[in-house]
Amino acid sequence: MKATFLNLFCFLFLISCQKKNEKQLDDFITISDRLGYRYEVSDLVIKTGKFENRIDTEKLGLKKVVLLNSSLLGYFSELNLVDKIIGISSPEYIFDDSIRNKVETGKIANVGNEQKYDLEKIIALQPDAVFTNYVPSFGNTYDILRQSNIEVIFLDEYLETSPLSKSKYLLLFGELFNVKKEAEIRYKKIEDDYHQLRNLAQQATEQPVVLCNEIYGNQWFLPGGKSSAAIYFKDANASYILSDNQEVNAIPFSFEEVFKKAEQAKYWVNIGSYQSKKAMLNINANYAKMKVFQNGKLYMINNREHGLANDYFQSGNVRADLVLKDYINIFHPELFPNENLYYFKELK
């Protein structure tokens, strides 16, 4: 449980942290302020953060790729591109049983983990591209792959502050794998459903106060008021305790500060995995003093969990509509009287 809690905390911290690009992608087809692309003569040019990839259009669509982080799996599943994956790292974090089976049977190679990637195996697989989040300490690894004529594409989707921006990465995958039409259809459906759900949430008469995340050590990192989490809460017609904040980054608070801010909270969401509220007190006994712990409702992101794998961090990256629907169902259950939560589970 401790490992799951730490993984969840790290994700929720990272998801709230974003450094805005100094240069906007005005002349690109814009996915977000972090990602864009355009065609130049015979190349597809991808601009992601401070990095740029130039891929000869004759190499599109990509036939075989390696993923160095499982968070990108949701895009491949959504576009039926799993058969293009020939290698993946840290398979213990894969939620989809069919993909896990491909790794176990050798149809998809296990190329190591974030502690040590098996470079020889990756190079031997001769992938058209390697997809990964950018980690500065792996700079040498990326250089070796590039020297082996392997395209390294950095996609830091977890840094996006707009939920639909994450979903919109589907359009880039559509270009890379020559499934542009399918990607456009899937994204449009997600976007339309998200907007319909947001409009539905506005019909609720109450706007409950929401607390998010947990304390870690002696600090409680709350997502900034412009973060992805805060946008979800707003679109679900809830009042986040930092809704007036203008930061996209996570902000550290002491327990006492959060205790005061959360005095009116009725919901506490995005907590780690626990068997019971009593078990939660083993992490911090001070939780028992909080009104929301005593009388409110608490929700974990673990309804679709398999060992160390959690589908929220895979399909949830793509399906912003399903995440928003869960939040609306939590804050305004009267709008979905006969529907169960998808990613979330209430802690009793």
* DSSP letters spanning 105-157: TTSSEE-EETTEE-HHHHHHH--SEEEE---GGGHHHHHHHHHTT-EEEE--G
Is the pLDDT at 146 greater than 70, yes or no? Answer: yes
Alpha carbon 68 to its chain centroid, in Å, reads 15
Please give the pLDDT value at position 25.
47
210 or 20: which leads in pLDDT:
210
Which tokens hold the place of 97? 């049983």
Q: Which residue has the higher pLDDT, 125 or 19?
A: 125
pLDDT grade for 235, boundaries at 50, 70 and 90: very high
Q: Model pTM greater than 0.85?
A: yes
Where residue 19 falls among pLDDT bands split at 50, 70, 90? Answer: very low
8 A C-beta contact, residue 162 and residue 231: yes
User: In which band, very low, low, confident or very high, does the pLDDT at 3 lie, cut at 50, 70 and 90?
Assistant: very low
Output phi, psi for 66, to 5 deg.
Answer: -120, 135
Q: What does the alpha-carbon distance between residue 316 and residue 311 come to, in Å, rounded to a whole number?
A: 7
Per-residue model confidence (pLDDT) at position 114: 86
Kindly state the average pLDDT of the residues 90-113.
95
Per-residue pLDDT, averaged over 107-130, amounts to: 95
CB-neighbour burial class of residue 62 (10 A; exposed 0-12, middle 13-18, buried 19+): buried
- Residue 115 has a pLDDT of 86
How confident is the prediction for the chain on average, in pLDDT?
A: 92
Terminal Cα-to-Cα distance of the chain (whole angstroms): 17
Percent of the chain with pLDDT over 70: 92
Q: What integer is the mean pLDDT of 262-283?
A: 94
Percent of the chain at pLDDT above 90? Answer: 86
- Give residue-wise pLDDT tens across range 310-330: 999 999 999 999 999 999 999
pLDDT tens per residue, range 44-58? 999 998 999 999 999
Is pLDDT above 70 for 342? Answer: yes
Q: What is the pLDDT of residues 152-170, one digit of tens each?
A: 999 999 899 999 999 999 9
**Which of 209, 328, 340 is closest to 267 using CA atoms?**
209
